[in-house]
């Protein structure tokens, strides 16, 4: 399907506001959107949300022959899928130019940074080695797929466990998950991609562009870096000239972003590990918990409006402070349509893994009409959530 | 049991004709989107709220993002291409709509309207047929513009869900009323979910855009509260 064109008025408005240091969603120029990392029940499955952009990465492995040129190494495949689900303009099957660029960059980021110890994937030199495959599926495209995909890929690799193997002479046994604990891949470091977009001949620079900002940008620079200040990838596209200072500034911004994100990934991994060891519920099921039928919700737009808030609203202002201090779980803001009033007494009897509609009889169809007044009164009591602060600061 | 008007229905639900009929018989019943007659039953095809309007119109109101053209709808479109004496306009439907350059107010073969690629037009659907390309016009049957035409002079265009656009077009819309008490702005809303707004300055415009988007899942009291907070915050930002 054809992509929705960008109208002149949108283009002018966005460019004008960028030149006045304002963004549509109220972020500052160097702010990331809200980042959420979640892991699935299966090992090596990672779901990352960056604002409304969503990416799912899944790592899998199989035993195969190593490459003839590198008989002591395992093999790493990286595959990026852009389905029409993410954006109607992406075509099924055929890789677009954008898709090829994306998968090449991801491959460069993961393979050429040598973050994964390939030799540890070798079972018998020249005969058997592990083939590790990272499948990255873009679920929704709202700009900056690249950063989101790189976070998802590296988190999935860190989360993945491969079956243990023992070699006894000629005999190779692959132990099932029940026999022996699976072993993690040895990751040396975590390279992450940070993209910078440039406007007005490189005069203005933005981090984490939204899809509309990507449409009006003049050029893009992608910096791949790990938290040890090691540059892994660098790519510049578009028609513009960049000054040396600008490049250096980008790399220093990238460093702070990468350290923050790496911390977040480790925190998410820890949380998942703890939940697993304690036998608590883990995986994506946690995301749909909340003991209610989740109809629709809008994510909270976080804008620092502290200086504009009244003193009595101070508590709200402080919660909207940092861009990247998102929690691993989803902080539920239930914005339900009138279609599914939350007072409709859908009772969830057991607190199990959150399956929608679990427990309790459905009372959807016979909601008594007299209740509407009570419902309105009840609704008022719910804490109104601070979503309205979507103003450029 | 009467049909659950105003309540949630789910695909697969069915009613008999008797349930839908109002006490006074012999009236015709009109089934809108989301309902389908099958043998003697009426089946629900979409999850949503069952709505009814006098004398006998029933439909299912649900969250929707893809626009399906229907005749007489007022839409906001983006001019995508100039082909001979036609413009191709993106109105969010599966096919692009065509707009003749003669269907503007005061346009003749000599006097062509000033429309560029990338402009926004507010127009009405003249032809909407599932087998044909939709056609839009910027004049009414008297040849006057009656508010339609190219939308110019800045502002910002954004996309919402279709039900939010319909909510905004409701004359009793609380959001627009309470925003109108606090800001001066121009707005044009198309039933295809495209909304163009322009306020006094860019800060206000951004605030309005975000308010409209944030209002989607709020009830009227929450909307009023939100508008109050927004106007406070905006007035302080403008002082800074």
- Within 8 A of B155 by CB-CB distance, chain A residues are 9, 13
Return the residue of A nearest to B51 by Cα. Answer: A339
B17 and chain A in contact, CB less than 8 A: no
Question: Which homologous superfamily is A8-288 in?
Answer: GHMP Kinase, N-terminal domain (3.30.230.70)
CB contact under 8 A, A390 and B155: no
B205 and chain A in contact, CB less than 8 A: yes
Report the residue of B82, B222, B228 to disrupt the A interface, i.e. the one with the largest count of A CBs within 10 Å: B222
Closest approach of A303 to chain B, Cα-based (Å) = 12
Query: What length does chain A have?
Result: 393
CB contact under 8 A, B203 and A25: no
Q: What is the pLDDT, as a whole number, of residue A287?
A: 64
**CA separation (Å) from A167 to A73, A186, A265?**
16, 19, 34
Pick from A298, A313, A391: which is nearest to B237 by CB? A391
Closest approach of A151 to chain B, Cα-based (Å) = 28
Q: Check for a shared fold between B8-61 and B74-151.
A: yes
CB contact under 8 A, A365 and B4: yes
Q: What is the pLDDT, as a whole number, of residue A267?
A: 93
Interface of B with A in 50-79 (CB under 8 A): 62-63, 78
The conformation of residue A100, written as its DSSP 8-state character, comes to H
Return the residue of B nearest to A89 by Cα. Answer: B94
B218 and chain A in contact, CB less than 8 A: yes
B34 and chain A in contact, CB less than 8 A: no
Pick from B92, B154, B221: which is nearest to A9 by CB? B154
For domain B156-239, the CATH class is: alpha beta
Interface of A with B in 360-389 (CB under 8 A): 364-367, 369, 376, 379-380, 384, 387-389
Pick from B206, B217, B222: which is nearest to A391 by CB? B206
Out of B17-21, B41-45, B50-54, the most confident range is B41-45
Specify the CATH number for B74-151; select among 3.40.50.2000, 1.10.3720.10, 3.10.20.30, 2.40.50.140: 2.40.50.140
CB contact under 8 A, B78 and A4: yes
CB contact under 8 A, B210 and A16: no
Peptide bond into B55 cis (omega under 30): yes
CB contact under 8 A, B157 and A388: no
d(CA A240, CA A193) in angstroms, rounded, equals 21
Q: Cite the DSSP H helix spans in chain A.
A: 8-19, 97-107, 145-159, 211-216, 244-278, 314-319, 371-381
Closest approach of B122 to chain A, Cα-based (Å) = 13
First CA to last CA distance, chain A: 36
Closest approach of A184 to chain B, Cα-based (Å) = 43
Q: What residue has token string 């009426």?
A: B42
Q: Where are the domains of chain B?
A: 8-61, 74-151, 156-239
Interface of B with A in 72-111 (CB under 8 A): 78, 80, 90, 92, 94, 96
* Cα B209 to chain centroid, rounded: 16
Return the residue of B nearest to A334 by Cα. Answer: B217
Q: Considering the domain B8-61, what is its CATH architecture? A: Beta Barrel (2.40)
Cα Dmax for chain A: 79
B177 and chain A in contact, CB less than 8 A: no
Query: What length does chain B have?
Result: 240
| pLDDT of residue B26 exceeding 60 | yes
Return the residue of A nearest to B234 by Cα. Answer: A391
Interface of B with A in 143-172 (CB under 8 A): 151, 154-157, 159
CB contact under 8 A, A9 and B157: yes
Query: Mean pLDDT, chain B, as a whole number?
Result: 89
The conformation of residue A18, written as its DSSP 8-state character, comes to H
**CA separation (Å) from B116 to A353, B78, B82, B133?**
55, 10, 8, 21
- Virtual torsion, Cα B128, B133, B138, B144, nearest 10 deg: -60
- Within 8 A of B63 by CB-CB distance, chain A residues are 296, 337
Cα Dmax for chain B: 66
A390 and chain B in contact, CB less than 8 A: yes
Interface of A with B in 67-106 (CB under 8 A): none
Read off the tokens for B45.
């095809």
Q: What is the pLDDT, as a whole number, of residue B160?
A: 93
Q: For the residues of A232-285, what is the DSSP string, one character each?
A: EEEEEEES----HHHHHHHHHHHHHHHHHHHHHHHHHHHHHHHHHHHT---GGG
Pick from A11, A26, A367: which is nearest to B7 by CB? A367
Q: Tell me the average confidence (pLDDT) per consecutive run of 10 residues in chain A, 393 residues long.
A: 86 93 88 90 91 93 92 92 88 83 91 91 91 94 94 94 89 88 92 93 90 92 92 89 88 93 93 87 64 51 54 37 34 35 45 46 49 47 40 39
d(CA A336, CA A297) in angstroms, rounded, equals 7
Count Cβ–Cβ pairs < 8 Å, chain A vs chain B.
134
Out of A187-191, B28-32, B39-43, B54-58, the most confident range is A187-191
**Per-residue pLDDT reduced to its tens digit, B212-234:** 998 988 888 989 999 999 898 88
């Amino acid at each position: 399907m054809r992509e929705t064109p960008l109208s002149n008025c949108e283009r002018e408005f966005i460019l004008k506001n960028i030149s006045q240091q304002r963004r549509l969603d109220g972020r500052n120029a160097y702010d990331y959107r809200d980042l959420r990392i979640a892991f699935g029940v299966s090992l090596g499955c990672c779901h990352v949300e960056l604002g409304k952009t969503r990416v799912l990465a899944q790592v899998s492995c199989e035993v195969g022959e190593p490459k003839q040129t590198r008989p002591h190494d395992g093999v790493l495949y990286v595959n990026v899928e852009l389905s029409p689900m993410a954006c109607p303009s992406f075509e099924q099957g055929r890789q677009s130019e954008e898709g090829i660029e994306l998968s090449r960059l991801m491959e460069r980021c993961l393979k050429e940074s040598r973050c994964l110890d390939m030799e540890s994937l070798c079972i018998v030199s020249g005969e058997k080695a592990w083939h590790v495959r990272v499948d990255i599926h873009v679920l929704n495209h709202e700009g900056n797929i690249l950063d989101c995909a790189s976070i998802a890929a590296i988190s999935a690799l860190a989360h993945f466990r491969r079956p243990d193997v023992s070699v006894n002479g000629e005999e190779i046994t692959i132990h099932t998950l029940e026999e022996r604990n699976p072993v993690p891949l040895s990751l040396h470091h975590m390279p992450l991609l940070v993209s910078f977009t440039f406007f007005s001949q490189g005069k203005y620079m933005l981090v984490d562009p939204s899809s509309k900002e990507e449409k009006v940008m003049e050029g893009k620079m992608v910096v791949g870096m790990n938290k040890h200040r090691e540059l892994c990838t660098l790519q510049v596209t578009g028609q513009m000239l960049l000054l040396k200072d600008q490049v250096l500034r980008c790399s220093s911004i990238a460093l702070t972003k990468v350290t923050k994100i790496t911390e977040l990934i480790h925190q998410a991994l820890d949380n998942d590990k703890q939940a697993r060891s304690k036998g608590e519920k883990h995986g994506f099921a946690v995301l749909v918990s909340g003991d209610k039928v989740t109809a629709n919700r809008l994510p909270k737009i976080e804008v620092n409006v502290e200086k504009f808030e009244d003193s009595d609203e101070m508590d709200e202002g402080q919660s909207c402070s940092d861009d990247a201090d998102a929690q691993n779980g989803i902080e539920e803001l239930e914005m339900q349509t009138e279609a599914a009033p939350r007072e409709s007494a859908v009772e969830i009897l057991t607190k199990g893994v959150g399956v929608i509609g679990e427990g309790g009889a459905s009372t959807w169809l016979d909601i008594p009409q007299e209740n509407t007044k009570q419902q309105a009164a009840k609704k008022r009591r719910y804490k109104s959530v601070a979503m309205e602060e979507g103003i450029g600061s | 049991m009467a049909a659950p008007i105003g309540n949630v229905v789910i695909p697969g639900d069915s009613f008999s004709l008797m349930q839908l009929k109002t006490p006074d018989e012999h009236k015709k019943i009109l089934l809108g989107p989301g309902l389908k007659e099958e043998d003697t039953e009426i089946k629900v095809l979409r999850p949503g709220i069952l709505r009814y309007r006098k004398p006998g119109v029933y439909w299912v109101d649900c969250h929707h993002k893809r626009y399906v053209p229907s005749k007489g709808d007022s839409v906001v479109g983006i001019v995508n291409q100039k082909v001979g004496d036609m413009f191709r306009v993106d109105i969010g439907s599966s096919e692009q709509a065509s707009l003749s350059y003669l269907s503007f107010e005061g346009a003749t073969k000599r006097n062509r309207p000033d429309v560029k690629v990338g402009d926004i037009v507010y127009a009405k659907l003249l032809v909407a047929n599932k087998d044909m390309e939709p056609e839009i016009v910027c004049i009414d049957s008297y040849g006057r513009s009656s508010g339609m035409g190219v939308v110019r002079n800045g502002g910002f265009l954004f996309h919402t869900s279709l039900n939010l656009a319909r909510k905004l077009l409701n004359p009793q819309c609380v959001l627009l009323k309470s925003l109108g008490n606090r800001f001066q702005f121009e707005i044009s809303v198309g039933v295809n979910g495209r909304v163009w707004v322009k306020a006094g300055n860019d800060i206000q415009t951004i605030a309005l855009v975000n308010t409209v988007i944030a209002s989607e899942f709020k009830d009227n009291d929450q909307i009023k509260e939100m508008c109050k907070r927004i106007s406070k915050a905006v007035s302080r930002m403008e002082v800074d």
